[in-house]
Amino acid sequence: MTKRDAAGPSAGELPTATELIADADLDAARRAVQGVAVRTPTLACGELASAAGTAVALKAECLQGTGSFKLRGALSKVAALGERAAAGLVTASAGNHARAVAQAARLRGVGCEVIMPRDASVSKVAAVESLGANVELHGASVEEALSRAVERSRETGAPLVHPFDDLDVIAGQGTLALELLEEVPDLARVVVPVGGGGLASGIGIALRRAGVEVELVGVQARACAPFAEALTSAGELGGPLAAGSAATIADGIAVRRPGALTSTLLGELLDGIETVSEAEIAGAMVFLAEAAKLVVEGAGAVAVAALRAGRLAPIAGTSVAIVSGGNVDSGLMAQLLLRRETEEGRRVRMFTRVSDRPGGLAELLELVAGARANLLNVGHLREGVALEVRETGIELTLETRGPRHTEEVLAALRAAGYHVSLE
């Protein structure tokens, strides 16, 4: 059976899952990946195990050379193209696959054209351009960008490197599972983010070919979950899928139309699929930063989000959560960390009034310092609030040790005669 071209099979030629599993060349993919992609660590995570009620480890693909697992599939595809790669490469992606293909093209010494959605992360666009790729922003979604990439491939003759619906790409992602089988003797379950389905398909193929009894559970962002919606409505996967929305913090897996190959594969290989909310994804990102010291993007955190939320029953053996990528905007990560501090009562805003005279504010701040609170910001309000003559409104942003400490600060200020309210 010959391998399909990069654009996938034509109508009426869809292979069966059994054919695809047999045809995936994991050995060639591993040769292509070795020496270039990092063998990322598999880290035990006690805090997550406590929340999930089962032994848990993290496969930290966020530490991969390009910041995500996508490098594996890109290297595999470029190796499989052989001399065809000399014409250059064309691809489409919201960011991680684009970066991986750009890196693979750079290593091969060939050109690379990348189509990205107009609202793609600024940092991801910059990262792709820094690798020498030509970036075109087109469309409002990965699907629209991919349509444009198909056009460019036809116009230029450069082969298309599909982000997920390509057997060579899928085989490359499967090399991750080969590492897990070697590193986790009691591997019982793999929990994997699902967007287009390439990573989950590759892992599923590797597990099937190894003949092991390991559960494969996919996780999608609830805001864009075509696989989960198909299972809910029809009870099975297969055929073209679509989701109605893609507005999610997990932009890397916001794929509304997964591929024909991946739909066929996951219909057979997945043991289950879960969805997680935006708040759960954000919470998982912060958890990974604080507990595991890993900077992880939204798409990379969904497997951990599902485990933290208790969506999966405890199992004998180790569950591995695939932390698939770490390419997150620093501004977003900072916002999430600040949000977490506010939710836990460690960051508060207070409003009070002081006499509008020299030393009035200094007296207030001395009391704050005496209560051992950390002053982050102070603002003067002279308009829009009820004030007496010669009085100034003061808004304080403070960092405290938590709700109890906040109450101690309030008590100290009120005991000194200040009327203080929390905002």
**207: region left, alpha or beta (phi > 0 left; psi from -120 to 50 alpha):** alpha
Contacts for 271 with CB less than 8 Å, ≥ 6 apart: 215, 216, 217
For every residue of 34-91, DSSP letters joined together read: TTTS----EEE-HHHHHHHTSEEEEEEGGGSTTSBTHHHHHHHHHHHHGGGGGG-EEE
- Chain centroid to Cα 16, Å, comes to 30
Spatial contact of 253 and 275, defined as CB atoms under 8 Å apart = no
CA distance to 100, 125, 180, 253, 332, per residue, from 303 (Å): 22, 25, 16, 12, 20
Spatial contact of 123 and 330, defined as CB atoms under 8 Å apart = yes
Q: Active-site residue 324, yes or no?
A: yes
Catalytic residue, candidates 76, 141, 263, 324:
324
Q: Active-site residue 421, yes or no?
A: no
Catalytic residue, candidates 70, 77, 201, 319:
70
Q: Can you tell me the distance from the alpha carbon of 125 to that of 265, in angstroms, rounded to the nearest whole number?
A: 31
Instruction: Report the 3 state secondary structure along 338-396.
Output: HHHHHHCCCEEEEEEEEECCCCHHHHHHHHHHHCCCEEEEEEEECCCCCCCCCEEEEEE
| Residue among 89, 94, 69 at smallest CA distance from 78 | 89
Q: Which residues are catalytic?
A: 70, 324
